[in-house]
């Protein structure tokens, strides 16, 4: 793939853009206006468990006018989930017949939103489960990697070789990646993981491991997971697990231990006075439940607590 655009150069977008540029692709960055003041010679930095990396992008801009004449093979969308719709509408003029869109955001609803504006056969989902935080604008630090970036077309509307082309591009750049025929199920694995851990870690200001080791927080996480399984069942959403107990066993024994020292991005969002992605996580579970006449009360409570903290911190 020759030309790649990364939309949103936050903690995740910076990693993708840096590694892909190091791999000799033409890489461009699209950011919000107020981020441009922090751009230094179009250069990005990544540190952490994958080593030290530095790359100068071909261009970082906030407007699409500078990008309209470029035939992008791949556009990676790495904005926060609440910016997905605005972002998709903005990049529509940049999407050419052969362009593929890779959505890398957290939570539920990004594919559904994007497919309102873009042919579904052009959209790929990427389940990202490496932990990254910004040290400063355009400078990311990778803290942990729990699994490959799993990439696929949710409804299998693309030939495998087209998806594998994207997978190989990212993998050859040095980011662990693999193809998934059931990427929607894989994404729901992460939704379960994030809904159980992120808001509690943010509210209580503690790591994933601390949540697991505490009886009270473990009981709350169990209830969050139980409700998500019920919501999925009522909405005919197929998960990778037959029942919540099977998932909990994996969650506590295999998933949390490698990330036990990790703090959720939601924690850093609140500390920085930023809006969180709660609406695409526990908030989305609440909406999906309400749509079928079921109120998932623990997820509802967690969502409202995060929203209260958001309002309080953003105002201050």
* Contact by Cβ (8 Å): 100, 73: yes
Separation between Cα atoms, residue 166 and residue 183, nearest integer Å: 14
For tokens 């935080």, name the residue: 133
Indicate the length of the chain as a whole number.
316
Classify residue 100 as exposed, middle or buried by CB count within 10 Å of its CB (0-12, 13-18, 19+): buried
* Contact by Cβ (8 Å): 129, 100: no
Pick the catalytic residue: 171, 190, 212, 248? 190
Phi and psi dihedrals of 213, rounded to 5? -80, -10
Separation between Cα atoms, residue 126 and residue 171, nearest integer Å: 13
* Contact by Cβ (8 Å): 84, 110: yes
CA atoms within 13 A on the CB side of 141: 7
Is-catalytic flag, 2? Answer: no
Classify residue 249 as exposed, middle or buried by CB count within 10 Å of its CB (0-12, 13-18, 19+): exposed
Give the β-pairing of 177-179 and 149-152: parallel
* Contact by Cβ (8 Å): 120, 155: yes
For tokens 């042919």, name the residue: 119
Q: How many C-beta atoms lie closer than 10 Å to residue 89's C-beta?
A: 12
Of 289, 293, 316, the residue nearest 303 (C-alpha): 289
Positions marked catalytic: 190
């Amino acid at each position: 793939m020759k030309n790649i655009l990364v939309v949103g150069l936050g903690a995740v977008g910076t990693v993708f853009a840096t590694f892909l540029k190091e791999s000799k692709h033409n890489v461009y960055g699209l950011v919000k206006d107020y981020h441009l003041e922090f751009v230094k010679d179009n250069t990005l930095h990544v540190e952490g468990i994958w080593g030290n990396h530095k790359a100068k992008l071909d261009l970082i801009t906030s407007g699409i006018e500078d990008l309209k004449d470029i035939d992008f093979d791949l556009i990676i969308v790495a904005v926060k989930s609440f910016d997905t719709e605005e972002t998709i509408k903005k990049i529509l003029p940049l999407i050419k017949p052969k362009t593929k869109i890779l959505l890398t955001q957290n939570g539920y609803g990004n594919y559904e939103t994007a497919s309102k504006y873009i042919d579904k056969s052009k959209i790929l989902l990427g389940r990202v489960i490496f932990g990254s935080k910004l040290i400063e604008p355009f400078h990311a630090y990778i803290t942990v990697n729990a699994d490959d970036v799993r990439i696929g077309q949710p409804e299998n509307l693309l030939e495998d070789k087209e998806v594998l082309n994207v997978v190989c591009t990212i993998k050859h750049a040095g980011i662990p990646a693999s193809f998934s025929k059931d990427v929607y199920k894989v994404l729901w694995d992460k939704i379960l993981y994030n809904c159980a851990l992120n808001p509690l870690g943010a509210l209580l200001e503690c790591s994933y491991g601390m949540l697991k080791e505490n009886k009270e927080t473990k009981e709350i996480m169990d209830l969050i997971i139980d409700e998500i399984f019920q919501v999925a069942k009522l909405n005919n959403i197929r998960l990778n697990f037959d029942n919540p107990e099977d998932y909990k066993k994996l969650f506590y024994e295999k998933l949390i231990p490698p990330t036990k020292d990790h703090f959720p991005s939601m924690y850093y969002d609140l500390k920085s006075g930023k809006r969180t992605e709660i609406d695409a996580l526990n908030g989305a579970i609440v909406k999906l439940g309400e749509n079928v006449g079921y109120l998932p009360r623990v997820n509802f409570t967690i969502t409202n607590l995060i929203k209260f903290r958001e309002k309080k911190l953003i105002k201050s």
